[in-house]
Structure 1
Amino acid sequence: MKTVFVTVGTTSFDELIEIVTSSGAVQALKARGYERLVLQVGRGSLLPPADSCPNFRLEAFRFKDSIAEDIRQADLVISHAGAGSCLEVLGAEKPLLVVINNKLMNNHQLELAAQLHIDSHLLYCTCSTLTEKLRTMDLSVLQPFSPGQPKNFANFLDKALGVQ
């Protein structure tokens, strides 16, 4: 069963939950063959019931100790633009669509998403463009994200400090 996992992290992003469960977004997901939607709603005020998306399997929860299994089981992840969430999904090598919360002040999320998009690691949009992005996105353009190499940095520091 093709699954979409949506996460807002530890914050609240009711607008994302509301739009991703709207009839237009659900129809766009169905058209792409998705049948199951799993929502991690965080501290938000919305916790949609299982029957709120007719003919679509919907599950929703606030928090878990780890969402790694939800990410692993997903065929597509839709996430807020928090750096931790983005890196966890990219590290799991899952297709990622980031939704920018443009109601945040001093929004650094756009900078992160734009750079990772330029490098072809993810797609991004806002809540107002999510349904259209779901209709038109091409996940085949996404490139795997190479994890960091902390050993290289440690070696550099060792040399710079004369330890090696």
Structure 2
Amino acid sequence: MKPKKTVFVTVGTTSFDALVQVASSRQLCQQFQALGYSKVLLQIGRGVYEPEPVSKRGFTVEYYRYKDSIAEDIKNASLIISHAGAGSVLESLGAGKPLIVVINQLLMGNHQMELAYQLYLDGHLLYATCCNLLEVLSELDTAKLKPFPPGDTSKFSNFLDKAMGLS
């Protein structure tokens, strides 16, 4: 029996209903299945939208709002789709998991875009918007992603300064 492949979607403590809606949509669930994933687990934060749970042969969609720690969900994931919050991005990259960061285009002064774009340029992740997430998934090749350097937190803060144009 093949091991289950899980997509973990996280919005952190924020409200990002557009990501929750698109990640749980029929179209994306079909794409996840085509890519060999059997479970989509969504951490939906304080959003209003609650996805329809799915439980059919060989494929499930589940969600929760918060947990004390999402470390176990990250560890068990085969693919992570995350909002661009620095904490979620760093935790996912630190776990060595393939990561797609989805930019919330409704945020003003979108530093998240700068962070995600720089990490993308450095080859550590893929990035998308809610509008093109399906396209990014259809071209998914996680083998091309480079591991993020572990350990030294100053590297990340220096990276953030660089991405924000502060150094």
CA distance in 2: counterparts of 1:137 and 1:27, whole angstroms: 14
1:49 Cα deviation (Å)? 3.4
Letter of the aligned partner of 1:128 in structure 2? C
Question: In the alignment, which residue of structure 2 is the partner of 1:29?
Answer: 32
| Partner SS for 1:125 | strand
Inter-CA distance 122–82: structure 2 relative to 1 (3 Å threshold): same
1-side partners of 2:87 and 2:15: how far apart?
15
Q: How does 1:91-106 map to 2 (within 5 A)?
A: 91-106=94-109
SS of residue in 2 equivalent to 1:128: coil
Aligned-pair identity in percent equals: 56
TM-score normalised to the size of structure 1? Answer: 0.87
Paired with 2:105 and 2:50, the residues of 1 have a C-alpha distance of 22
Task: Please list every run of at least 4 consecutive aligned residues from structure 1 whose deviation after the TM superposition is greater than 3 angstroms.
Answer: none
Letter in 1 for 2:72: E
Aligned counterpart for 2:110 among listed residues 89, 107, 110: 107
Residues 1:2 and 2:17 are matched in the alignment: no
> CA offsets, 1:32-75, max 9 Å, x none?
00010000000001222323x75521110000000000000000
Partner SS for 1:144: coil
Task: Mark the structure with the bigger radius of gyration.
Answer: 1
Give the structure 1 partner of residue 81 of structure 2: 78
* TM-score w.r.t. length of structure 2: 0.86
Aligned length: 151
Unaligned runs of 5+ residues in structure 2 are: 156-167
Contact 1:47 1:61 in 2 (8 A): no
Give the root-mean-square deviation of aligned CA atoms.
1.6
Equivalent residues in 2 for 1:8-87, closer than 5 Å? 8-51=11-54, 56-87=59-90
> Which structure 1 segments of 5+ residues have no match?
153-164
Counterpart Cα distance in 1 of 2:56 and 2:15? 25
- The structure with the greater share of residues assigned to helix is 1
Write the letter of the residue equivalent to 2:111: H
Pair 151,125 (structure 1): closer, same or farther in 2 beyond 3 Å = closer
